[in-house]
Structure 1
Amino acid sequence: MLKILSALVSQHDLTLVVVSGMVCLGAAFTAFKLYSRMRGARGLVYGAWLLLASLVAGSGVWASQFLSLLAFQPGEKIGYSPTGVFTSLITGVLFISGGFASSSLGQSRSNQVAGGMLLACGLTALHYIGMSAFVVQGQIAWETATIALSVLLAVGGSTAALMLAGRARSLRSQLLGAASLTAGFVGLHYAGMAAITITPDASVFVPEQMLSGGVMTLAVASITTLIILGGLGAVLIEASTTRSALDRIRTLANAAYEGIVVIQNGRINDANQAFCDLAGAPLEDLTGKPLLGAMLSFDAGLPTLGALAQGDARREGLLQPVSGGRQIPVEVFSRLMDDGARIETTGLTVLAVRDLRERRTAEEKIRYLAEHDGLTGLPNRNSLQGRLIAALDRVEASGESLAVICIDLDHFKEANDLHGHHAGDALLVETARRLQASITAPSFAARLGGDEFVVIQITDADQPTAAAELAGGLLETLRAPTFYEGQELAMAASLGVSLYPDDGRTGEALLVNADMALYRAKEGGRGAYCFFKREMDETIRQRRTLSRELRQAILDEELVVHYQPLARASDGEVCGFEALCRWPHATRGMIPPVDFIPLAEDSGLIAPLGEFVLRRACADAMTWEKPLRIAVNLSPLQLNNPTLPSLVHEILIETGLSPSRLELEITESALFKDYQRALDNLRRLKALGVRVAMDDFGTGFSSLSTLQSFPFDKIKIDKSFVENINVHDRATVIVRAVLGLGRSLNIPVVAEGVETAEQMDFLRGEACDEIQGYAIGRPAPADTLSAWTNRAAVEPVKAKKVRKAA
């Protein structure tokens, strides 16, 4: 060792020695930076990084070698052989590439030792082949022991460099590897220089064509600088590109709504801000933490990383925030992120973690809305079936009793129309509140739709006593008025009750039978409750069958319109007809209006039925030779329909009938369903030119005030008064008074139900304007009216009683 130091101090330019060492250190540092990129690459990318690292290391050592030779001052003339110089460079690069490749095959010590041996071979070959290019004017003698020492120093330094550098990921490991490799080569070179002894010999000729020291210095400096700068440039460009790409990816990832987390070997490698927010911790606290099983769990058990990353499988699980608190339901999509070019991506898995809290909340809301009424919050018709089945199972097992109570609000439509839909909604909400307040679990209430509710009573008390008590209490509760925006809203209800198991063993049967009992309660005058009885079944079934048949008959236009004539009382001339609907049933025969009109009103068929009659009557009237008037009755529901004027206008245009020929008859009771709306419709009808008559005058309670409110075109005296003329004095006085009232108000009066000559004579004597009844003619089909529509007058019926008929 003293010999090496002595040779270094006495025979070398120390400045160049330091420069050569710095060149070697810089090259080695650059080479290990490239080596770190090579360790993380595969395929062609791996080969490119390996070649560049080997060139930088080899050229750096080669430059250091010849700078050290330039620093050597033996006192004799020296030169260099070009062939040896470049042969040493190529040989060194090849062995160094083998060393780097061998070390990168794995992380074991054997790989690092094998790589170190090949690196040492490369350094040794580079040095001693380079020394063979060294020519001095003298004889060179070699000392074998010192040569062996130099080789050992190269092996030790090279092996230590690869072990200290490892994967060379950090700056510290890169500097340690570079320093160790530099020390190994410096030890090799100067030990090798100490192994030679030069004996001057003037006979040794140093050719002039050999490279001079100045040329050698320039060549070494140029080549080494270019290679080292190229290597550093490649590292910096690659690092900058990678950093820019990572920044762009992170920006995109942070902009994502879903959490994105990268895991490797089960631990968190990286994550975006959305995942950090879900996990409740910054990225630096999450990096390195285990994810699967620790923070993220799945309902179907913990999958392996391979299974998790396979395909684009969707899994639902729970994420436990680092800060604690409730677990977050999440949906996880996974994908294996292995580009095949870098070892670092091996087993790297990207998970997209979607927060399901909003979705679960929305799903719960949708499920709630699907099972509950949106207005009242009660269970709806859909969920009632399931809950009723569960209730039946309960009472079957426990021995409790069950009652089904169907509830229908009385006159709800009138209140809804009078005060508006918001008031109607308030009425329904208040009804639901009162129902819920009147029962206790396990009993429950539900809304079937509209103003229909149902209460399922479950109790251990005896039925029907318990059901009667509850039904009576509900009637009292629902009878109390409520208030909406300062207005009092009247409340009342009708109830139908069916009992399990007497009235049915299934939920459907109990509901049907409770509905039948409700119908009977409404028929009995409303505001009461009624228990189901077996005899109700057939009656209501027949009524419902008839309702279905009526609906189909209207659709198929099976109903017919008959016409009853109206005549002037003075001369008996027919001046018009009243349209009366008839239903020729296939099995029941001709069904009179008194039977199917109420059915149409209860089942909601009165509107299409009324439109059919109005349209047919106007069309038939257009076929008459004489322009006689046609009278059509309007139901209360038609009169209160805001579209009535538009419908009448449409029919008049379609049929071509003059508005002055159409006469619409209403009862005074129809006005009081919604007085203001009815008056508005009547005024709009009058504006069209249509005539309006008050039917059944005298049977209501506000006839005079009604006549004052609206200018009717005609008054019709109800036949209940006409048939008692000259029979009951009061009836005769009432008829005479009405006729006088009509004359005073200048409103024509029609007497209905005229059947005898005595009645006709009395009405003529009291100056009645028009008469209608069997004394003039019975209702008949349109094709039998030609006798009336073609002749000027009709003789009155002889003085005899005409048999009454429907």
Structure 2
Amino acid sequence: MRHGLLLIDETGRIVLASGQTLHLLGSEEALISVGSSLRQVLYLVRDHAGDTWSQVRAQLPRSFVQPDSSRFEVTLRGHLLEVHLHPVAGGRWAVAFEDVTARRAAEAQAEEMARHDLLTGLPNRLLLRERLNEALGRLQRTGEACAVLLIDLDRFKPINDTLGHPMGDALLKKVADRLRSTVRVTDTVARIGGDEFVILQTGIRGASDTQILARRIVDLVGRTYMVEGQLLTIGASVGVALAPNDGEDADRLLKNADLALYRSKLDGRGTYRFFEPEMDARMQARRQLELDMRQALARREFYLHYQPQLQLEGNRLVGCEALIRWQHPVRGMVSPLDFIPLAEEIGLIVPIGEWVMRQACRDAATWPAPLSVAVNVSPAQFKSERLVEMVMSALSASGLPATRLEVEITEGVLLNESEKTLQTLHRLRELGVRVSMDDFGTGYSSLSYLRSFPFDKIKIDRSFVSDLSGKRDGEAIIRAIAGLGRSLGMTTVAEGVETADQLERIRAEGCTDVQGYLISKPISASEVFKFLTLDNPR
């Protein structure tokens, strides 16, 4: 038998002992055999059980008087034995012994592994929560303050995507090593997600202690790494919550640290921010705006206005730019500056953008040819696999010729220039759709983008037009862009024209088209007809 087994009769004598019994009990003198008394077994256990003997002695009397089976553990000579007592008919007892040393060690190891991240060896979310609760318990008992620093790696995803997950994993290990080096032995560094880490800083005297640590983290994580022969550079954004000021329970501290982290990302990443109560209010407002925006499509609260574009040669209307508007039943008119960035961040810009495209094509189909409509397409929409198919569907459903549709993109679409993006642009061009570069001149690489794709139109950002009256270099910049467009055979549109003086200067510098309040404010689709009939002296 694999287990030791003793059968004890009603007088307390052993009537059967398996071969494993002596080995498990650790008796080399063969004191235990048929005919031995239970007392002899107990003496043997007492001599070798050490500290566990008192527990055995307290439990045995109860075990032998109850009618059901019972179980307890005893340590003999370094081995952990699980003892089972089973009553047998006639007042007899069966005692089984099992060595569970290896099993308990494996269970302990598994439990330990369940509390650690397998890649970095750092504590995981479970162990972090335990240690955070312990720290908060000390806070209640002794007033010892602590801090939670939530860390998110900047620019990590591109490394994973371009160099592969093995390289990303190797980098995460090095980040973990650097974070370990920044803290004391009493602090905890944990990994709670793909590229998210948490530091629990205990025994702090004030916010200055945590500020020093946050600065060190941003500096150290942001230094260049050498990974498998590659030089890699990432950064760290850090959000900080202090106990007890920012919360006295684990959930609130982690939530507030996350709010502070979100703020540090908004402020440009590669920095740290401490939690402030206003952050929670702003986040609640943001969540409500997100909820309202998701319902706005279903409730048909969005509508379009169109801003006319005037061709300077002949002073004739050539097209209109579609501009989304949101009339909320409670908020009233919601500015696109408030909801479009959020829609892009959460991915809602894709269904909203599809609605804009379909509605703009329907409206433009009612206008006289060859009047065109320009629709902005965001970088998030370009990531969609079905952008071209959606445009084709909108054109087909509305009956608008593709040549009367213009897709406007910003350099954000080409910021991470890929073959897929250029293929999408060329597929749109093959349909007959025109493509324009919006907000030209405001980015870092606008000229290189003109080389990567033959745009039909360049839209000069309104900031250069407004500079005409205040800065001497405004005219020079517009002149240069207009000349560039002329050389490349592209239409140049000056946005934000609001005064007659600006119009004349732009005309003199060689721009082909203009758009702005001087020509017309954004108007409804039906008002476009009225605008066409106006006698425009410009």
TM-score range normalised by the length of the shorter chain: 0.7 to 0.9
| Residue equivalent to 2:493 | 750
Q: State the TM-score, normalizing by the size of structure 2.
A: 0.76
Q: 1:402 aligns with which of 126, 146, 153?
A: 146
Residue 617, structure 1, aligned to residue 357, structure 2: yes
Report how far residue 694 of structure 1 moved: 1.2
| Residue equivalent to 1:10 | none
Distance 1:777 1:400, change over 3 A: same
- How many residue pairs align between the two structures? 510
Distance 1:740 1:382, change over 3 A: same
Contact 1:329–1:357 at 8 Å: present in 2 too? no
Distance 1:411 1:614, change over 3 A: same
Contact 1:279–1:320 at 8 Å: present in 2 too? no
Counterpart Cα distance in 2 of 1:659 and 1:289? 103
Q: 2:473 aligns with which of 726, 730, 741?
A: 730
Letter in 2 for 1:731: G
Distance 1:366 1:526, change over 3 A: same
Report the aligned-residue RMSD.
4.6
Counterpart Cα distance in 1 of 2:111 and 2:311? 67
Report how far residue 630 of structure 1 moved: 3.6
Deviates more, 1:466-475 or 1:752-761: 752-761
Q: 2:460 aligns with which of 710, 717, 726?
A: 717
Give 1:175-254 correspondences, 5 Å limit: none
| Residue equivalent to 1:392 | 136
Deviates more, 1:544-553 or 1:616-625: 544-553
Contact 2:81–2:99 at 8 Å: present in 1 too? no
Residue 470, structure 1, aligned to residue 218, structure 2: no
Counterpart Cα distance in 2 of 1:632 and 1:609? 13
Report how far residue 719 of structure 1 moved: 1.5
Letter in 2 for 1:392: L
Distance 1:620 1:745, change over 3 A: closer
Distance 1:497 1:767, change over 3 A: closer
| Residue equivalent to 1:493 | 236
Residue 566, structure 1, aligned to residue 319, structure 2: no
Secondary structure at the residue paired with 1:780? coil
| Residue equivalent to 1:162 | none
Contact 2:74–2:81 at 8 Å: present in 1 too? yes
Letter in 1 for 2:183: I
Letter in 2 for 1:390: E
Counterpart Cα distance in 1 of 2:167 and 2:308? 46
Contact 1:408–1:453 at 8 Å: present in 2 too? yes
Contact 2:482–2:492 at 8 Å: present in 1 too? yes
Report how far residue 279 of structure 1 moved: 11
Residue 457, structure 1, aligned to residue 210, structure 2: no
Letter in 1 for 2:239: G
Give 1:80-159 correspondences, 5 Å limit: none
Counterpart Cα distance in 1 of 2:35 and 2:106? 30
Secondary structure at the residue paired with 1:496? strand
Q: 2:331 aligns with which of 580, 584, 588?
A: 588
Counterpart Cα distance in 2 of 1:708 and 1:507? 53
Contact 1:716–1:752 at 8 Å: present in 2 too? yes
| Residue equivalent to 1:705 | 448
Distance 1:599 1:307, change over 3 A: same
| Residue equivalent to 2:11 | none
Distance 1:288 1:685, change over 3 A: farther
Q: State the TM-score, normalizing by the size of structure 1.
A: 0.53
Report how far residue 391 of structure 1 moved: 0.2
Which residues of structure 1 form unaligned runs of 5+?
Answer: 1-252, 254-258, 800-806
Report how far residue 435 of structure 1 moved: 1.8
| Residue equivalent to 1:215 | none
Report how far residue 735 of structure 1 moved: 1.8
Report how far residue 661 of structure 1 moved: 4.6
Residue 696, structure 1, aligned to residue 439, structure 2: yes
Counterpart Cα distance in 1 of 2:108 and 2:310? 70
Q: Which of structures 1 and 2 has the larger relative contact order (alpha carbons within 8 angstroms, sep 6+)?
A: 2
Give 1:557-706 correspondences, 5 Å limit: 558-601=301-344, 604-605=345-346, 607-623=347-363, 624-626=365-367, 628-639=371-382, 641=383, 643-644=384-385, 646-650=386-390, 652-653=392-393, 656=396, 660-673=403-416, 678-679=421-422, 681-683=424-426, 685-686=428-429, 690-706=433-449
Contact 2:361–2:395 at 8 Å: present in 1 too? no
| Residue equivalent to 2:16 | 267
| Residue equivalent to 2:179 | 435
Report how far residue 500 of structure 1 moved: 2.7
Cα displacement string for residues 580-625 of structure 1 (whole angstroms, at most 9, x for unaligned residues) = 2333234432121222233344xx32x2224312333224413522
Contact 2:79–2:101 at 8 Å: present in 1 too? no
Counterpart Cα distance in 2 of 1:335 and 1:574? 101
Distance 1:415 1:751, change over 3 A: farther
Letter in 2 for 1:267: L
Counterpart Cα distance in 1 of 2:431 and 2:167? 33
Distance 1:591 1:524, change over 3 A: same
Counterpart Cα distance in 2 of 1:581 and 1:333? 79
Q: Which has the larger radius of gyration?
A: 1
Counterpart Cα distance in 1 of 2:186 and 2:349? 45
Secondary structure at the residue paired with 1:777? coil
Letter in 1 for 2:351: E
Report how far residue 399 of structure 1 moved: 4.1
Distance 1:356 1:670, change over 3 A: farther
Secondary structure at the residue paired with 1:327? strand
Higher helix share: 1
Distance 1:722 1:466, change over 3 A: closer
| Residue equivalent to 2:12 | none
Report how far residue 482 of structure 1 moved: 1.6
Q: 1:327 aligns with which of 80, 92, 116?
A: 80
Cα displacement string for residues 286-307 of structure 1 (whole angstroms, at most 9, x for unaligned residues) = 9979999889999976956996
Distance 1:406 1:776, change over 3 A: same
Contact 2:388–2:424 at 8 Å: present in 1 too? no
Identity of aligned residues (%): 38
Counterpart Cα distance in 1 of 2:391 and 2:103? 54
Contact 2:358–2:394 at 8 Å: present in 1 too? no
Higher strand share: 2
Cα displacement string for residues 320-355 of structure 1 (whole angstroms, at most 9, x for unaligned residues) = 89xx7643779x89898x9xxxx9xx9897989797
Contact 1:618–1:630 at 8 Å: present in 2 too? no
Distance 1:713 1:278, change over 3 A: farther
